[in-house]
Amino acid sequence: MTDTITNWTKSDDARIEDAIRRGATRRDLLRMMLASGVALSAGGVLFGRAEQAVAATPVSGGHMKAAGISSSNADTLDPAKASLGTDYARCCSLYNRLTFIDGTGEPQMELAEKLETKDAKTWTVTLRKGVTFHDGKTLTSADVVFALKRHLNPAVGSKVAKIAAQMSEIKAIDPNTVEIVLNAPNADLPFILALHHFMIVQDGTVDFSKGNGTGAFVLETFEPGVRSIVKKNTNYWKPGLPHLDSFEFFAIPDATARVNALLAGDVQFCSSVDPRAAKLVDGQKDFRLSRSTVGQYTNLNIRLDMNKPDFVTGMKYLVDREQIIAAALRGFGDVGNDQPISQANVFHNPDLKPKEFDPDKAKHYFEKAGVLGQSIPVIASDAADFSIDMAMIIQASGAEIGLNLDVQRVPSDGYWDKYWLKAPIHFGNINPRPTPDIYFSLLYASDAPWNESQYKSPKFDSMMLEARGLLDQAKRHEIYNEMQTMISEEAGTIIPAYTTNADGISAKVKGLEVNALGGMMGYAMAEYVWLEP
């Protein structure tokens, strides 16, 4: 057995570590390594190394500085309005949710002790006892009712007003119990309540500048668009947490400056390392990349009401997924099969194969649609990650078979308002969501607010409603599999790849795990990580 392994980087180590944490067996790991071409003999060494890393005991203390991608004067401490990663990270450190989603993608109880239902319509939330807010007040059902009801008030400007609208009744039964009645059965409520926006704030809060929550940290400094510093909550109800004494978060929008700050030792964590700079971080001994592919994607939307179905089918064959991953994403992605439920989700349909890159077949469909020889505008923008590179790749493939795609690059500012959902052919950018139902009702139902390709199918709608009310997971999986196939075949959204997010971290940062809600452990990193002294 040898100790030197070629072609093995720190991030592979991290991947193995993540797998072990998520409960992978030795056999799983060996299969994983065989798949990536590492000799079997190396397996033992790696396994030992990774196990050591996992087994290390957390150290308490330290001040961690982390840099996100963007922040602005619109930064907020109001979870209902949170919109950027910086907001999520800050809110996660100050507040708790009723439930949270763990590394395996399953909901776990947080402020709720129990979440019970018989029909998926009426839910009883039993609150954990002895939880206090930072100002000393004990958490009661009144706080939960207030926090949830806020989303229904348009003046609040909640990002999840639409999702919250299904809670037709939210009432306190006793100081420790809340009853939530939905207007239709939805077995996903435990997932929904785990969304960042549903964090619990104190009853009657109007001024959020104090960040008064039940979370692991207490607010020390908050300067919108500049930074926030939080200090360890010594009364935190989760035993042993957090490990850090304090956590500072700010944004460095410039990708190069962000990586430089990490390399210079000014921060211990930086979000979203540009794939082009990945080697710089990954190759060094003091740093590593924490990768997560949890279902974020950039997709090409072809509106079905403005284009011919044959053209859409042709485009699905024209997209060279492998090349997009290799060139546009520089390896930071997994092949997608034109539907939003990624491999990270338990409901992913593994039998649904992506369309092969086949220019001849594509040409056949384009001829049928009669679009060859015309100039077809495609809108791309920096606002949708990697979309300009993707558009160029598809344009080049099209040029070879006589399809003239006119790629129009438009500014990021105003993109979501002016082009997204509106232009006949354009790019979208969707962040990870925990359940298929959220993806489907947001993006593919006939009345979906973000129906990117104007996909309308009564059959799809009724299947969605049926699955939503089912408490039987196997039956549900079956329905979701079929729905994924329908989207992949019928909708006008081409999802070439699920993108991998790579965060750069100092080797001293320990305990960072992959989470289905996105990078930084679904933004809740501060509560769980620790710094090696």
Residues that bind another protein (CB under 8 A): 72-76, 81, 83, 154-155, 157, 159-162, 209, 221, 223-227, 250, 252-254, 256-257, 260-261, 263-267, 413-414, 416-418, 420, 449-450
CB of 163 to another protein, least distance (A): 9
CB of 428 to another protein, least distance (A): 9
Distances (CA, A) of 335 to 196, 326, 369, 402, 496: 28, 11, 27, 26, 6
Residues 6+ apart with CB under 8 A from 453: 301, 302, 303, 304, 312, 491, 492, 493
Residues 95, 393: Cα–Cα separation, whole Å? 44
Give the nearer residue to another protein in terms of CB position, either 191 or 528: 191
Give the nearer residue to another protein in terms of CB position, either 184 or 257: 257
Distances (CA, A) of 291 to 128, 180, 272, 513: 33, 37, 9, 9
Give the nearer residue to another protein in terms of CB position, either 281 or 371: 281
Q: Look-up: residue for tokens 């109001």? A: 78
CB of 84 to another protein, least distance (A): 9
Give the nearer residue to another protein in terms of CB position, either 160 or 372: 160
Beta bridge partners, 132, equal: 138
CB of 93 to another protein, least distance (A): 18
What is the Cα 37 distance to its own chain's centre? Answer: 29
Give the nearer residue to another protein in terms of CB position, either 93 or 158: 158
CB of 183 to another protein, least distance (A): 17
- The pair of three-digit structure tokens given for residue 460, joined into one six-digit string: 């799809």
- The pair of three-digit structure tokens given for residue 107, joined into one six-digit string: 């909901």
Give the nearer residue to another protein in terms of CB position, either 70 or 323: 70
CB of 81 to another protein, least distance (A): 7
Give the closest residue to 58 by CA, choosing from 215, 209, 184, 244. 244
Residues 195, 522: Cα–Cα separation, whole Å? 10
CB of 251 to another protein, least distance (A): 8
Give the nearer residue to another protein in terms of CB position, either 419 or 528: 419
Give the nearer residue to another protein in terms of CB position, either 377 or 449: 449
Q: At what angle are helices 40-55 and 26-35 packed, to 10 degrees?
A: 130
CB of 280 to another protein, least distance (A): 9
Give the nearer residue to another protein in terms of CB position, either 225 or 331: 225
CB of 438 to another protein, least distance (A): 12
Cβ-in-10-Å burial (0-12, 13-18, 19+) of 59 comes to: middle
Distances (CA, A) of 42 to 7, 31, 111, 173, 291: 12, 12, 44, 58, 22
Q: 163: which DSSP letter?
A: H
Give the nearer residue to another protein in terms of CB position, either 325 or 423: 423
Phi-psi region of 173 (alpha: psi -120 to 50; beta: other; left: phi over 0): alpha
Give the closest residue to 529 by CA, choosing from 10, 37, 58. 58
CB of 14 to another protein, least distance (A): 22
